[in-house]
Each structure stands twice: as C-alpha cells, then as structure tokens.
Chain A
Amino acid sequence: MRTYVCRVSALSLPALPVPPNLPQDIAARLTTAAGLSRGRFAPEFLPTRIEGLDRLLGGGLPRGALVEMSGRASSGRFSVALSALAATTQAGEAAALVDPGDHFDPQGAAAAGAELSRVLWLRPRGLKPALAAAETVLATGFALVVLDLGLARILRRRFDDAVWLRLARRARFHDVALLVLAPYRVTGTAARVVLAADAARTGWDRSRESLSLLDGLSSRLVLEKTRDPNMKERTSLLNLSLLDAVRAGTKERKICLEREREENAVALSSRLSAFGH
C-alpha cells in the first residue's frame, strides 16, 4: 500500500500513480512518504531583507542548514547578521546571537528593526563556550542562530572540525538556520552554503566642500560553495547604507558646527592680533 502525504505548499513533483478521480489541485500536492524523507520539498528560507543576498541564496537563509559567511573586517558580514535577526524577529520568531567578541549593539539592532525581546544574546568568554552555547541553542527551537566569530584570528587547533559537523547536524535535525560569520573559512565540509564577501569599497559623500561623510559600504558576495542546484547565481553586490540616516544627519551638523566654531576662533584670534594684543 502506498501512503500519500499532502502539504499545503504546491510542489512540482514527478508524476505519481494517483487515483484518477482525485481533483487535480489535490493531486498536485501529493508525494509519497518516502519522498518526504529524501527531502524533496523545497526548503524553507528565512529572508535577510538584503535583496542581493536573498536572490543569491534563492530566498534567504535556508532552514536546517549551516551557512558560512567569511570576509575581512568591514566586508558587511555583521550587517547581514543584524538584518537576518531583524527579519526573523519581525516575523514573530525567536533568534539567538552567540557573540564571543561582544560586538552586538542593541541600539543599532533596534534601529535596524529587530524586536530585541525575541533576541537571545549570548556573550561567551571564548571560542569553546561559544561553540557549546551554539550547540545548546540549536536544540532549543530558535528559528535562527547566528554564531559570530568576530574579527580576530582564530586558532584552528583550538577546536576540531567535527564540531562544525555536529553543529550542522543539529541545525538540520532541529530545522534551524545557522549562520556562521568568520574572518575566513572555518566550517570545512559542514556548511551547506559558503559565502565570501570581498572587494569592499567604502562610499563617501564628498558633495560638501572639504568634508567627507560616510555614506555606506559595498562589497561583492561570492557563492563559493552550495549544495543546492537551484542557486544559479554565483555573485551579487552587497550594498549597505549607513544604519541610521538621522544619526548621519546629526553627525553632519555636528561637524559643520565644529568647523564653524573653529573658523570663528581663527577669525577672532586674527582680529585680536590685528589690534596688537
């Protein structure tokens, strides 16, 4: 006897020997139980809200998989993580950030749209507890777990490659999207998707005379490895504008005021010297 399972999402599946009197729309949603275990359903994605990245990944961070993103400092890694945290928590799901470098900025995350009450922030004091903490939260039921390994060089001898396989297996078992941020590739064969951010360029607004203001940052995202044949694109552009436009405006005003004050001081001193003081 063959068992049929119906899922709400419509899928394009190979033809099944379905009963002829079954309505077509229902028949289109059927697959065998064996098909379920082979993972023939399209994976669920957690969108990051960064258009280029979501397109590159086929919809967002795949649930049940380890995605590694590597890149040097100022390559946009952390912004991607915050954007994913914001998108996940806005959808009403809980997310965890394992942050051994203690780099998280709650104000910045709130400005990016994250619901902080749904974010579990873990601040381990080293790599080993960070990995243990990640393993624990992966088994808890969070939709997204971000493990940020920070900026500093990581000593490979501090941990075993099997750690990443274990984390990837946990993520798959508990259907969690695990995003690992590292200065360079560390997860070995465990990652389902590996992204590299390189060729970062800083954008400066030079429209004001003798004054440069930080405008944003752009870098190139390269899909170095994927196990998903549906991911066709290999590169994408990651454009990031300064987090808080208001803050940029305030900064600009402050700089202008500072300049003005300095100019006034110079003018005053020149006037005083002209009067012979």
Chain B
Amino acid sequence: MERTAGACGEQQKDSSFVAPRLACLVVPLFPLAARLRSEPALRDEAVVLCEGNGTAAHVVAATRKARKAGIRPGFTLPQARALLPDLLTRARDTESERAAMEALLDVAGTVSPRVEDAGDGVVYLDADGLERLFPDERDLGRALIAAAKRESLPARCGLASSKLAARVAATLPDSPVAVPAGGEAAFLAPLPLAKLDPEAEIVETLARWGLASVGDLAKLPAADVASRLGARGHALHEIARGRDPRPLVPRRPPPGFTEGMELEWPLVTLEPFLALAESALERLARRLEAEAVGCARLDISLTLEPEGCDTRSLDLPAPTRDVKTLLTLVRLGLEGRPPGAAVTGFSLTAQPDAPRKGQLTLFGPAEISPDRLAAALAKLFALLGPGRVGAPRAVDGHLPERFALVPFAPPPPPAVRKTPKTGRGLLSVRVLRPPVPLEVLLEDERPSSLRTLASAPPAPADGGGRPALDVAGAVRVASGPWRLEEGWWQETPAFRAYWDVELSAGGLYRIFRDEPGGEWFADGVYD
C-alpha cells in the first residue's frame, strides 16, 4: 500500500500528521443477514424481518425476493402480506445478531489485531503494516469479504485514512473501494451533510449558512467555524476535511466463542433442537478453525418458557472442533438431564484452548497426531460417557479394586525407540468390579465349595443378564486366609479375609469374606 502525501488542505502542511489506514467492513441489512446466517434455508425465500407486536409490527428488512415484490422497510405486516401472501416473517433475533457480530469481528481479527466493534454489522480495523501481505489494498478488502462470506455474512469493505471515509466507501457498489491516502476530503466533498451525522442544532445553523454538501463545509476556514460553532463544530469541520479525529478503539477479544439464536416457537423435543444446535456448532467450528484453536469446554445456556434459564457445561478431554462429537455430547447431556421446560432460545459458548502440538522424530516411535487424538478422545467421551475414558493411575491403598482415571495426555515418545526390558511372564489378576457375591461352604474353616449367588450383578459385556463370574464347584486347593484392613477411621471400613482358591473344574480365584457381615465375595480371577 503506497502511502502518498495528502493533496488537500492542511493535511499537506502538517507533515507530522500521519493518519492510519483503516478498513471498514459493513454488512448491509445486518439484522436480516444475521437471521439468515442462523437459518440458511431461508436465504432464497421471501422473508421479512419484523419489529414490534400485533398491529404495530413493521418490516425492518426484507430479502431480495421480498423487495422485488415491492416490500420496503417501514411497511406494516398486513401491508407486506397484501403484496405477498406467502411471505415468511421472522422477528429480530438479538442472539443471532450478537453471534454474527462476533463472527464479523473474528473475520477482521484474522488480518489485524486492532479491531473496533462499531455495532450493527460495522467493524473497523487497523490496516497499517499489511503491505507485504496485501501489496494492493483492494486485495485486503477482497480477502476480508471472502472471509466474511465463509461465515455466511455478505459484507462490503472500504479502505481510507478516516473512519467516515472508510464507512462511506464500504457502502459504495463494486466493493471493495479504497480511498487514496489524503484523498478523503475530495472523496467526501460531494456527499450530503447528513452523512456526517451532525447534531440537529448544527444542522439548522449550516442550513441557514446555505451549506448542502460536505465539501461546502470543508471549504470554510477552520478558525471561523470553531469560533462560531464551538468544539463540536470544529470536530465536524475536521471530519469534513478528511481528518477524522475519532481514534480506532480496539476491542478486547472475549474469552469464548458464542453462537445461538432465539426461537420462533418453544421447542419441547430434542431432535428439532439438535438440528438447530448442529448448525450453530458448525458455525462455531468454523470460527474456532479460523483462530486455530479447539473447544476445550462447551457452555450451553437454554432460555426456558415462560422464564428461567438452564446452564450447563461440557468438559472435553481434549480441545476439538469436531461437530459430530460436540453434537453427540450435547445430545447426551440433554438426554441425561432434560431442561424441564420448553426451550425458547439457546447459546453455545466454546471456551477455546490451543490444540496439542506434535513433534516428529527420526528414530523414535511416531507420536499420535494431536488433532486426531483430540477428536478421538472427544468421540470416545461422547460414546462411553464421563469417567469411562482416560489414562489409569495407580492409587495408594490396599483394596485391590482401587483405581483412578486421569485425562489421557501421553508424554512425547522418546527420541530413540527403547527396547523393552526382557522379563518373565507374570501372572496378573482380573479385578471384578464390583465383587461378585458367593455362597461358600466351609470345612475346618476353609472353603470347600463355592457358587455364585443369583443376586450377582450382570456382566456388562454380555448383555444377556448373566453375572460377571458364574462359577460353582468344589475347591481343590485353598490358600489363606490373609487379612486386609483399610479405612478403620471411616464409617464403612474394610475388614476382609482373603483366600486364593483353585476349583476342581478349573479356575483360580481370589475370594474374601467380609468380616463384619460374614458374606463371601470373589474380587479377582488369576488369568
């Protein structure tokens, strides 16, 4: 972007003043665009956005198809329907507008860290220092428009050295339009004074002076304008001369990414809600991808009828952008704990986190791709539920069934593949969780035969209702007892007498007698 010296007014004389280059992104008919972003199926329909209730309802914006039928903003709803009986109507949706505005700010944030939220689909960004990326300013504008289009927002772009000039340039056809540095005054000169948005009192004065355009005001001597109209008049004069004193006010990026919408009618079943949630999650995923982050926690907020709110959070084992996985988690969360009332609106907030990084090695074993691992973990989490996926951890204690699960985050593989230590075959124990109740017959206080009780819990893998351990038979060898005591300070301490028993029919089991109650259980199988 070649900066040329100012060609008009005092800007030429004041060499110390270097106005920053600004880009302005504008989404025309922003409330409608935000609504269509949430409901893309309506894009090719005749739709109007209404404000107000009952007979006071009036059209705020209309799609191209509705405009072709003659519907204009300001029409009442009956007037619009008279022109187009099949007209679809939607109310203004503040949640959609907020999400669309955030998406537009994210788009601007992809090229510049200094972005200002001007509201109502208008965003300013600092375009200084982008010469190497975009030698032609119009390329920057095209890139911004394309990025906004990917977010389903039809944006226009203007570039100039003042906010007003950039804003006006953005409204012109053949977007993007770049106003050369220093050419702002000439660019604004033919515009009507109303573009400067002056106060009513000043408008009246300027009209009395016979001024009609911005150029007329710019031609007046600055000192005389200041002496007659005061500080506000002076600021207006500066803007008219292409020197916008309003600085860019960069926004602080919010911690999360939010998408959501207000619903036309309350939803009482899950499936229609999930269809809308999927669309919102897809938009979230696109925004997360643009920032190269993943969703580490998904906050769900449901607006309930007639009033109230249901909020919940889903913690993910690893940051992910996989829509299918996130949707499954939402489904499981809502199925597990329904909101209890009809839903009239929702918002989904993704708390971002940097995805894990992988490092390739030449001679060591390959590391699992962090992205793939994150997606798989989230999928498994959705499939199996909480507390069912993780890395095991040894826990201090004596009870054999003890265990702990921690999030699976394997350390990086060694630089060189290690040779596993040679060892002998070690006999290990299958732990039975929970212990299986047994009926045990004793001879000389030693187990002589045992049988699984009918009250034993079924095996999870079977599905046929059979117990996890279904044994019966005479004991061939019994070794024991050895005692185990743990948690004597607790309300339910463990006092157990353990035996290793081998059955005549085969099978080597670890059984114990619960000392206080005298019941027998099997808690392990040597296998």
Binding site for B on A (CB under 8 A): 47, 49-53, 72-80, 82-83, 86-88, 90-94, 100-113, 116-130, 132-133, 136-137, 139-143, 149-155, 158, 200, 202, 204, 211-214, 216-217, 238-243, 251, 254-255, 258
Contact = CB atoms under 8 A, between A and B. Distances in A.
Given A121-B390, A140-B376, 17 more contacts: A74-B507, A74-B508, A78-B428, A79-B527, A86-B420, A91-B365, A94-B368, A113-B421, A130-B461, A133-B383, A136-B376, A141-B368, A152-B466, A202-B477, A204-B502, A240-B426, A241-B427
B470 interface: yes
Given A110-B394, A122-B388, A133-B383, A241 B426 contact: yes
A112 B426 contact: yes
Interface in B370-395: 372-373, 376, 379-380, 383-385, 387-395
A53 B425 CA distance: 10
A151 B469 contact: yes
A152 B468 contact: yes
Nearest to B426: A243
A116 B404 CA distance: 11
Contacts of A142: 368
Given A92-B417, A104-B392, A154 B462 contact: yes
A151 B506 CA distance: 13
A216 B393 CA distance: 26
Interface size of B as a range: 35 or more
A255 B481 contact: yes
A106 B388 contact: no
B17 interface: no
A243 B469 contact: no
Contact of A153 (B419, B466, B525): B466
A102 B421 contact: no
A113 B423 CA distance: 9
A269 to B, nearest CB: 16
B508 A214 contact: yes
B383 A136 contact: yes
A137 B410 CA distance: 14
16 contacts: A49-B422, A79-B527, A82-B426, A91-B417, A101-B460, A101-B468, A107-B394, A117-B410, A140-B368, A150-B462, A151-B469, A202-B502, A211-B479, A240-B427, A241-B424, A241-B426
Say what secondary structure dominates the interface of chain B.
loop
Most B CB within 10 A of own CB, among A73, A86, A118: A73
A92 B389 contact: no
Nearest to A108: B428
Nearest to B392: A106
A251 B507 CA distance: 20
Contacts of B526: 74, 202, 214, 217
A151 B391 contact: no
A56 to B, nearest CB: 13
A59 to B, nearest CB: 13
B413 interface: yes
B480 A122 contact: no
Contact of A141 (B366, B459, B471): B366
A24 to B, nearest CB: 25
A124 B429 CA distance: 20
A151 B527 CA distance: 10
A49 B372 contact: no
B195 interface: no
Contacts of B97: none
B331 to A, nearest CB: 15
B404 A243 contact: no
Given A106-B403, A204-B479, A155 B423 contact: no
Contacts of B372: 139-141
Nearest to A252: B482
Contacts of B482: 251, 254-255, 258
Nearest to B430: A103
Contacts of A127: 461-463
B479 A213 contact: yes
B522 to A, nearest CB: 11
B460 A126 contact: yes
Interface string B265-303: 000000000000000000000000000000000000000
Contacts of A107: 394-395, 400, 402
Most A CB within 10 A of own CB, among B366, B418, B506: B506
Contacts of B393: 106, 116
B420 A91 contact: yes
B525 A155 contact: no
A213 B477 CA distance: 10
B95 interface: no
Interface in B399-413: 400, 402-405, 408-411, 413
